[in-house]
Amino acid sequence: MGRLFNQMTRGKKKLLAVSALMVMGGLLLLPIFLSVTAVASGGGAPAGGPPADVVAAQKAGEEGEAEKVEMGRDIYYKTEGPAIGDGAPVTADNETFYPRYNFESRVLLWVANQQHLYYGSFVLAVPIFCMCIEFAGMVSKDKAMAKKYDQLAYDFIKISLTAYSLTAILGGILIFTFLTLYPAFFGYLSSIFRPVMHIYALTFVAESGVLYIYYYGWDKMREGVLKWVHLSMSVILNVIGTVLMFLANSWIAFMMSPAGVDEQGRYLGNIWHVIHTALWNPLNVHRILGNMAFGGGVVAAYAAYRFLSSKTDEERAHYDWMGYIAMSLGVAFLIPLPFAGYWLMREVYAYRQQMGITLMGGLLAWLFIIQATMIGILFLTTNYYLWQALGRMTGGERFQKYIKYLVFILVCGLLVFITPHTIVMTPAELKAMGGQQHPVLGNYGVMSAKNGGINAIIMTTIISFIWYQRGNRVPTVSWAKFGNIFMGCFFVIAQLNNIWLACYGYFIPANVRIGLSVPQVAGTLSCLFLMTPLNLAMLKNGRQLGPIRWGQIPPRSQYAIIMLATAFTWMMGLMGYIRSSVRLFWHVNEVMRDNSPWAYTHTIGFAANVISFNVLFFWISIMFVFWLGTLGAKKIPVPAQAGQPVPSPQPATGH
């Protein structure tokens, strides 16, 4: 009877806890819902009606007052709407529009913005990983693995939490930088986005609340229904995070490809047009994937740092495993990233040809070569890590002798991928070459060859991953031989198809050539999405050649992870700079001109130095965050006995 009573009390407590959580979540989300309603009504009027400004304008019109409503034409959507406000300010190079310190304001803003973005990306990406890992732990039938996953997800969110407060601080610094150095521009942007500015702020409140409940409630909600509630909170957390990012993206998309305003930059009453500009969705997709890859890279670098500074084999085993998981997640999002980038560029070209040419064929083209080099580094280091990881598996050595062939394909693909179209050379070299285009290498400088190059690299990475999956296992299914032949043929055909299409691209019209990227990408993605599951199916109940010796991986692999993360960071800084500087001398493209003394494009060297400074600053500060993480960490106390095999990493219990 007492037991039953206890169970009932426990059940009641759970119910109470769930209800309390739901109420809390509801309260956190309430302001957002309220403000969304307000937006729909234009800022205060009942839902469903036209925006308040429009209502006022209509009313004025109806009453036949002296002031007549002026209509404007949307520069992108070509729709008519009542022009509201004075439009974009026409600025001049003076202290009123551009107050300044004795330093280049643009660089100050650049650094503040980039640091906020780094941390913002990190704290948006990590909860998504946590959600996936926590879910994996919950559905895992192996109790030990479930605990390991749970611990890992907790480790991830712990790092993210400190970074979260830094993100908020950097966001504040960014706003103050805008207000003090670019008041006219910021004022204009705020006036256009006024209906959603507060939603952004309120969403932050909701994000913080949910994050804190998610983190601090980890132990309390570790079992049963509460665990599912806990997981649901991570879903809510990520939904809010994604909304936040989409809103922030709408501002930069508006600056690049404005819509919802007329030629003078006057708001036309439709906030959806302002948000949903030509480049908003491609930017959203690209940034989600980029953030995930970046977040994975940073967490993997944390694990690598902890691995290298580990004192015991247990610690090494744990951080080796953590690094592997984080890197795998990062790379999983890295693979589709080039395709998302391709879509974004396509949309940029479709929006403004000049913008596309400035980016990829003109002024900023060399930065794209640097970007290609960075992408190459990412894939090369990923492959290298996987090859090193083969060494910690019994049986992995049977694949290592073929590494040289993969290296050759990777290097050839990368050389084609990074060959510049516009070659840097002295006039003497130009003369010796006999023209601007090299007759042999010039062909590698165009898109057709580059698509072939990057697809070859990605396919090779997939092969490395499949080898890794097979490292210590041998398929025992009856159709193993057939499966192997099929997989081999599939990869060969996909690679031949890729090379053939890359060559064929030179002989067909450009619009068809752009379309050719679809079958090329399809071939690569087929390798990923068909061959990887096929491989897993073949390995099901396969023969184990030995355990994975976690922690017994050469330190080179960890340096590769750190390089991968650094390359991610550098590339993110670079692409942010490219995306921003493509506007050239516009604050808002073709609407609000930048008349500050810094409305010119920096030299490549200067830009590279600022990017490097940003990367260095980020890594120094994130090292501080890592260090903070270690302060609260429990030590793993069991020392390893010399000569004994190292067991799989075990999670620490409790947090």
Partner 1 sequence: MTWLKLVEGYMPMQMISELVICILVFSIINYSLKRAGMGLPKFWAGIFVWAFVNVFYLKYRIYPPIPFSVRAIYGTVSACGIFMWVSGSQQEWEEFKRPIINVLDAKTGMTKFIRTALLILLPIGLWGFAYNSFLPNFDEPIELRTVHPAPPATTKVHGKTYVLQTASNPYRINPEGKYDQAYSNAHIVDQSMGRLMKDVNSAEENPWDPNAKGYIKHVREGGEIFFQNCHFCHGDNLNGRGLWAFAFNPIPANFTDAGTIAQLQETFVFWRVSKGGIGLPGEAFPWASVMPPWEQHLTVDEIWKVVMFEYWHTGYYPRTWE
What is the DSSP track for 573-616? HHHHHHHHHTTTTEEETTTEE--STT-SPPPHHHHHHHHHHHHH
Cβ-based nearer residue to partner 1, 5 or 507: 507
B/e letters for 226-263, b = 16+ CB within 10 Å, e = fewer, are bbebbbbbbebbbebbebbbbbbbbbbbbbbbbbbbbe
Q: How far is the CB of 400 from partner 1 (least distance, A)?
A: 4
Q: How far is the CB of 461 from partner 1 (least distance, A)?
A: 13
**Around Cβ 583, how many Cβ atoms within 10 Å?**
20
- Give the tokens for residue 254: 């508006």
Cβ-based nearer residue to partner 1, 115 or 557: 557
Cβ-based nearer residue to partner 1, 143 or 404: 404
Cβ-based nearer residue to partner 1, 432 or 642: 432
- Give the tokens for residue 349: 């070209």
Q: How far is the CB of 446 from partner 1 (least distance, A)?
A: 6
Give the dihedral sign, CA 482/487/491/493.
positive
Cβ-based nearer residue to partner 1, 154 or 387: 387
Q: How far is the CB of 352 from partner 1 (least distance, A)?
A: 7
Q: How far is the CB of 246 from partner 1 (least distance, A)?
A: 27
Q: How far is the CB of 387 from partner 1 (least distance, A)?
A: 5
Cβ-based nearer residue to partner 1, 431 or 635: 431
Measured CA distances, 451 to 226, 499, 567, 643 (Å): 48, 9, 21, 50
Residues 6+ apart with CB under 8 A from 597: 93, 98
* 72 beta partners: 81
End-to-end Cα, the chain, rounded Å: 34
Q: CA 568 to CA 622: how far, in whole Å?
A: 14
Q: CA 164 to CA 205: how far, in whole Å?
A: 12
Burial of residue 632 (number of CB atoms within 10 Å: 0-12, 13-18, 19+): exposed
Q: CA 602 to CA 407: how far, in whole Å?
A: 36
Cβ-based nearer residue to partner 1, 148 or 470: 470
Cβ-based nearer residue to partner 1, 477 or 514: 514
Q: How far is the CB of 611 from partner 1 (least distance, A)?
A: 18
Q: How far is the CB of 234 from partner 1 (least distance, A)?
A: 38
Q: CA 328 to CA 387: how far, in whole Å?
A: 14
Q: How far is the CB of 584 from partner 1 (least distance, A)?
A: 8
Cβ-based nearer residue to partner 1, 206 or 360: 360
Q: CA 370 to CA 28: how far, in whole Å?
A: 44
Q: How far is the CB of 274 from partner 1 (least distance, A)?
A: 22
- Give the tokens for residue 610: 């600022």
Cβ-based nearer residue to partner 1, 88 or 292: 88
Q: Which residue has the tokens 């510049």?
A: 420
- Local structure of residue 444 (DSSP, 8 states): G
